Structure 1
Amino acid sequence: MATRKPPDTSTPADKPTPPGKVATINDIARLAGVSKKTVSRIINRSPLVHKDTREKVEALMREVGYVPDPMARGLAFRRAFLIGMVYDNPTAQYIVDMQYGALDALRDSGFELVVHPCDTRSTGYIDGVRRFVQQQKLHGVMLVPRASDDPALARMLEEIGCRYSRIVPVADDPTDGRLVVTHDRDGAAEAADYLQTLGHRDIAVITGPLSYRSAVERTAGFVETLAARGIGIPKARIVEAGYTFESGVVAAEKLLAGRKRPTAIFAENDEMAAGVYKVAMRAGINIPRDLAVIGFDDSPLASRLWPSLTSVRRHTRDTGRIAATMLIRADGDAMRAASVRPHLIVRDSCQPPR
């Protein structure tokens, strides 16, 4: 005689998620005995949920391995849980460090990072950024130099209602809580002070592209600091380059080709300083005995060159972390510009002139 299977008397909330099935928000609500709306509020850190309920639901989500779907959350809130990083910068290490910093801030936040390189010199680039923001439904955008130099880009983001943070070398408005100020002028001034203290008087500068606000600020900080100490830099000793190794080589060839060479060169990033090293080596010029060299960024390259490069450290990873944090903080948080101050790291590439 066949045995009848006893009826299932368990309630829906008692039934676990079947093996192999990915838990959904509906499963969490059923197992916890709360509404789907309550689970959604807990996922999105709403203060409207009682502490005991929050702890119960979060423990259940951990137990079943539930991970909120960023795209589903975005549909519910009509915005994706994505942070964009818009940049126009030729220095690869700088961009990598900036991304690492942003990822530090976004870890465990539920937000993800997407990047958008652009050419700020091209017509229509702002329309391209607008499409990127709208298609991805971005929660906010980090504007990295040189994109952060353009006020028209910031105005466009305001017009479409997208929050943003800007990384800038100097603050036009210190009360603007969307700014991360890197104080490039101060870092260059410290480099100038150091060379002057060593006794250098015939000093040259390899600038970044003067269409970049960072290059303008670094050049001004360096030149003005030396001028205040009675040391002038002739125009022939200031060569504009492109923040790349190759452009540093070309600029160094101009500065080191003559019979009367400078005793020191300040290159406004480490890539260009490495270009100076190459030209000096080919010409039989010893660093630091015959030529002192200072870079800017204190990238990993600085400690890998030989002799190791004295460079201005500007804490790029910290800058990226702060810029991303600004985008995911609560709307009511204090709004004031943040500062990341540079300082000189002295290594082996400088000594007093012979």
Structure 2
Amino acid sequence: MTPTPPRPRRSRSAAAAPPTADAPALPAGKATINDIARLSGVSKKTVSRVINNSPLVHPETREKVLALMKQLGYTPDPQARGLAFRRSFLIGLVYDNPTAQYIVNMQYGALDALRDSGYELVVHPCDSTREDYIDGVRRFVLQQKLHGVILIPRVSEDEQLAAALREIGCRYVRVASIPLDAAPNMLVTRDRLASTEAANYLESLGHRTIGLITGPRRYRSAIERGEGFLAGLAARGIELAPDYVYEGGYTFDSGVAGAEFLLAKSPRPTAIFACNDEMAAGVYKAAMRRGLGIPGDLSVVGYDDSPLASQLWPALTTIHSPTRDVGREAARMLLDDHAPALEQPRDVTPHLVVRDSSQRPKG
């Protein structure tokens, strides 16, 4: 049974007088922690607890201090926290990714690297469609006093976020399908190359009418996987018509919808490449609804080689993306004092794993 956490204690300063409406105007960004303490009527220690999200602050006090910080444009001074970065034993993982298994595998990999190192992993899910999400990541980094941060798609593809981390002096590693930064900050996953391999494989089996379910185009990985597959087919003489391409959302339901869209075409595809395993599982469901057998009537290829791939029946042919290895290598780069001297970005190369969901088309 999970123990009940202790109730937060009321800060002694919770009942202090609220800040005056006539608080002196301070230049934007010039307020100090002492100003915040004085004007909100609490101690400097209480303000520090609010900044570090301590449970020991009464909610009313927290709200009052945060409101004043926002009013005065106060943020903790990155230079004052510089030493804390060098002493920190926390690595952050920042993500905005709809694929739960991908996140889990990435965490497992990072934990592999951190085991017995004295460092711990803390995670920060975010919504990169929000205008203030970079400020949220920045606060997370400063409040947790992180030694470094692992950024995975899609946040790893945001140059403004990377610039914000450089501004506050936080080390980071960006996991992405193509190089986007200086070599010490990049771990490249080569998605385009792997998708080309999937295209070559399906064409080699004799498939000519093929459907493609991509991820959302706001993800660079979705662009690389989709374009790599199309380029691979084109190199082997197959031009895929635009209406045989469906933009999915890297989710099971979008895989179902994409397969329903493609299987209604005439001629019907004899094979579908889905740009992740969850969407490929959705293709299985749509095929079953139509009474189509896999692989007899329809070959299916996925991407990621998540545990789901071997749990499906028949087992899914898929691109093995070494996500756990990526998480492990990214964490190691943050712990490696020599990583900043890298001249070429480190990379990993996915590869095709052939299982039972693919075969030559009938006839």
TM-score by length of 2: 0.75
- Give distance in 1, aligned partners of 2:104 and 2:287: 29
Q: 2:271 aligns with which of 264, 267, 271?
A: 264
- Give distance in 2, aligned partners of 1:333 and 1:88: 26
- C-alpha deviation, 1:228, in angstroms: 1.3
- C-alpha deviation, 1:328, in angstroms: 1.0
Q: Could you tell me which residue of structure 2 aligns to residue 36 of structure 1?
A: none
Q: Which amino acid aligns with 1:91?
A: T
Detail structure 1 runs of 4+ shifted over 2 Å in the superposition. 74-80, 257-260, 331-334
Q: Could you tell me which residue of structure 1 aligns to residue 262 of structure 2?
A: 255
Deviations along 1:12-39, one digit per CA (max 9) or x if unpaired, are xxxxxxxxxxxxxxxxxxxxxxxxxxxx
Whether 1:219 and 2:226 are equivalent positions in the alignment is yes
Change (3 A) 1:240 1:323: same
Q: Could you tell me which residue of structure 1 aligns to residue 178 of structure 2?
A: 170
Deviations along 1:250-288, one digit per CA (max 9) or x if unpaired, are 111111124531111000000000000001011101110
- Give distance in 1, aligned partners of 2:84 and 2:168: 19
**How many matched pairs?**
280
Q: Could you tell me which residue of structure 2 aligns to residue 34 of structure 1?
A: none
Q: Could you tell me which residue of structure 2 aligns to residue 298 of structure 1?
A: 305
Q: Any gaps of 5 or more consecutive residues in structure 2? A: 1-81
The within-5 A match list for 1:27-46 is: none
Q: Which amino acid aligns with 1:104?
A: D
- C-alpha deviation, 1:331, in angstroms: 4.7
- Give distance in 1, aligned partners of 2:164 and 2:230: 35
Q: 1:102 aligns with which of 78, 94, 110?
A: 110
Q: Could you tell me which residue of structure 1 aligns to residue 99 of structure 2?
A: 91
Q: Could you tell me which residue of structure 1 aligns to residue 159 of structure 2?
A: 151
Q: 1:121 aligns with which of 120, 129, 132?
A: 129
Give the % identical residues: 64
Deviations along 1:201-258, one digit per CA (max 9) or x if unpaired, are 1111000001100000001110011111110110100000100001111111111124
Whether 1:198 and 2:205 are equivalent positions in the alignment is yes
Q: Any gaps of 5 or more consecutive residues in structure 1? A: 1-73
Deviations along 1:123-158, one digit per CA (max 9) or x if unpaired, are 110000000001001110000111101111000000
- C-alpha deviation, 1:351, in angstroms: 0.8
- Give distance in 2, aligned partners of 1:348 and 1:77: 49
SS in 2 for 1:89: coil
Asked which structure has the greater CA Rg, the reply is 1
- C-alpha deviation, 1:330, in angstroms: 1.1
What is the Cα-based RMSD across aligned positions, in Å?
1.6
- Give distance in 1, aligned partners of 2:340 and 2:220: 29
- C-alpha deviation, 1:178, in angstroms: 1.4
| C-alpha contact 2:85 2:146 (8 A) present in aligned 1 | no
Q: Could you tell me which residue of structure 2 aligns to residue 312 of structure 1?
A: 319
TM-score by length of 1: 0.77
Whether 1:246 and 2:276 are equivalent positions in the alignment is no
- Give distance in 2, aligned partners of 1:290 and 1:340: 34
Q: 1:282 aligns with which of 279, 289, 296?
A: 289
Q: 2:144 aligns with which of 136, 145, 149?
A: 136
